[in-house]
Amino acid sequence: MGTPHSQLVCVMIISLLLIVMGSLSPDSPPEAPKFTAMFGFGDSLTDNGNNNYFLNSLAKANYVPYGVDFEEGPSGRFSNGRTTLDYLGDLVGIPNLPAFANPQATGTNILRGVNYASAAAGILDETGQNLGQRFSLSQQVVNFEKTLNQMRNNSMSDQEISHFLSKSLVVMTIGSNDYINNYLVPSMYPTSFMYNPKDYADLLIERYTRQILMIHGLGLRKFLLGGIGPLGCIPNQLATGLEPTGQCVSFTNDLVGMFNSRLRALVDQLNSKYPEAIFAYGNTYGAFGDILNNATAYGFKVIDRGCCGVGRNQGQVTCLPFSIPCTERNQYIFWDAFHPTQAVNQILAQRAYNGPPSDCYPINVQQMAQI
């Protein structure tokens, strides 16, 4: 039998081991969410199934092989797996937001946030109408108001809702379709005849600002505004553009650049005018461009064609039902004619979460959570 001192040392060692083992246990409680909730607005880059319900739309991803690497299978996500919003949700402790149109998005299910994003949607109401019904950005804002009414019906007071919203994160990723399914389709939309590229970018920012201020007026205070990625480099543009084989379509990227520069400037304006809120610009164009230019360093081997698709660059026709996708999906930057793989989505989410100001300006999401 040991001395009292040696017994005490043994007890302390055992206690420390139990603490360490408990911290490593899979049953340990998850880390507390960094925001009270997260609300997503956008298009097919972040849609998680809104177009599956009640909408007569061609823009749906509720069939295989979409979701081939997602735990729920085809869910409406335009990816082989998860979206940037999914990954960002993991990072802030709010995983798998319910889609607004999902009948189960009621009661307590909406208290951690809701995803309103809709494939083919744009900043302009008419954008994407060639693909059928969708929730435009203005309609997504209306849908958010419906969520607030549900909260009030669930006996949340106005003071409780105000505090809840002020600590929530808003992620808005929209604008791609205003080019791909509007301005760059002159056979269906007159906008390229009505506006030169600079005036069109101004129009989009003016309409976008209107919707941002609408939800700010409803109480939201922490905004991540994602810029548009290099659309001239997606397989669809490579397949239909006039540039030499393998080169991004510079005209399309120049259009996007005009929008992004205005969006970044808008962030400065909003932060100056509304000091009680914080607005951040997610430099998707820069982050995605870095991945394209340094693909090997990121583990990618295929940068100029889709993993699933038909025609030149697997980008002339997007991923059809029951198509056979590539097997080495983590080595592809693009999943289909328009959308990145989940491997890219994860990188983009991480850079928005804790990247430098060149990735997320003027602060990143992790820093925003501390305000």
The Cα 97–Cα 75 span in angstroms is 12
Q: CB of 268 within 8 A of CB of 344?
A: no
Q: CB of 333 within 8 A of CB of 250?
A: no
Give yes or no: 290 in active site: no
Taking CA atoms, 94 is separated from 71, 127, 140, 366, in Å, by 17, 30, 20, 13
Taking CA atoms, 339 is separated from 98, 290, 301, 347, in Å, by 21, 17, 17, 14
In sequence order, which residues have a C-beta less than 8 Å from that of residue 94 and are 6 or more positions away? Answer: 33, 35, 37, 38, 112, 113, 169
In sequence order, which residues have a C-beta less than 8 Å from that of residue 2 and are 6 or more positions away? Answer: 10
Active-site residue, from 57, 118, 216, 339 = 339
The Cα 128–Cα 125 span in angstroms is 8
Give yes or no: 163 in active site: no
Active-site residue, from 43, 86, 304, 336 = 336
The Cα 217–Cα 276 span in angstroms is 12
Residue 97, φ and ψ in degrees, nearest 5: -60, 145
Strands 278-282 and 360-361: antiparallel
Active-site residue, from 44, 75, 79, 323 = 44
Give yes or no: 216 in active site: no
Give the CA angle between residues 289, 293, 295 to the nearest 5°.
105
Q: CB of 233 within 8 A of CB of 291?
A: no
Taking CA atoms, 312 is separated from 241, 365, 370, in Å, by 11, 38, 47
What letter does residue 174 receive in the DSSP assignment?
-
Residues shown for the chain: 371
Q: Which residues are catalytically annotated?
A: 44, 336, 339
